[in-house]
Amino acid sequence: ASCLPGWNLHNNKCYYYSPKGKTDTWENSRADCLARGGDLAMPKTQDELVFVSKGNSYSWIGLSDKLQEGVWQWVDGTDLEDLGFWKEGEPNDQGSEDCVEVSRSQVKWNDAPCRNKFPWTCEAFGPGGSN
Ligand code: 2F8
Ligand code: CA
């Protein structure tokens, strides 16, 4: 059992890293993940976060407070628990920042403007069909 070509298996989930040099807005990144049969990655453990972070220097993940300022929600509709993954001083909504990116060097989250362009990481069910 394995993931589709271009995806990487980790702890029974499949992950896709956007190609080197390619960047897009959070919404377009999410649309790409959905079109591939997944969604933006939702790293909920340190182990998952490390794997999600390592595809590119910075990556959009499936977390935003677009719906209601200050209420962070995963793209699966669930609320964010306190995981302690924010970078020091984040989230700070500097200007207006409703989407979350993770840096490979720090493996921590920052809220950034959704219209900014970054690489992204998708996730999908693993070979077992669910997780
Ligand atoms: O110092 C943290 C701060 O760094 C940048 O702003 C200067 C980030 N801006 C963008 O990514 C556009 C902030 O989100 C971040 O909080
Ligand atoms: Ca920020």
pLDDT tens for each residue of 56-98 = 999 999 999 999 999 999 999 999 999 999 999 999 999 999 9
Residues with CB under 6 A from ligand 1: 90, 92, 94, 97, 110-113, 116
CA 31 to ligand 2 center in whole angstroms: 23
Q: What is the pTM of this model?
A: 0.96
* Strand order, beta sheet including 8-10: 8-10, 13-17, 121-125, 39-40
Mean pLDDT of 109-129: 96
Task: Please report which ligand is nearest the Cα atom of 103.
Answer: 1
Q: Please tell me the distance between residue 127's alpha carbon and the centre of ligand 2 in angstroms.
A: 35
Instruction: Specify the residue with its C-alpha closest to ligand 1, atom 7.
Output: 94
Residue whose tokens read 């079109």: 35
CA distance linking residue 55 with residue 19, whole number of Å: 9
